[in-house]
Amino acid sequence: MNFTLKIWRQEGPQDEGRMETYPVTGISDEMSFL
């Protein structure tokens, strides 16, 4: 399986945030994500 994760990144409370995209490949169907 392959996933594309979109994660909110922000350096600090006063900094502008942004969504970053992370492709994740080779995921086994026996793995779990929280």
1-34 pLDDT, tens digit per residue, is 999 999 999 999 999 999 999 999 999 989 887 7
Q: Show the tokens assigned to 6.
A: 């979109």
**Per-residue model confidence (pLDDT) at position 14:** 96
**Per-residue model confidence (pLDDT) at position 17:** 97
**Per-residue model confidence (pLDDT) at position 32:** 86
**Per-residue model confidence (pLDDT) at position 25:** 95
How many residues in the chain? 34
Angle CA 6–28–26, to nearest 5? 60
For the entire predicted model, the pTM comes to 0.63
Q: Which of 33, 18, 23, 32 is nearest to 3 (CA)?
A: 23
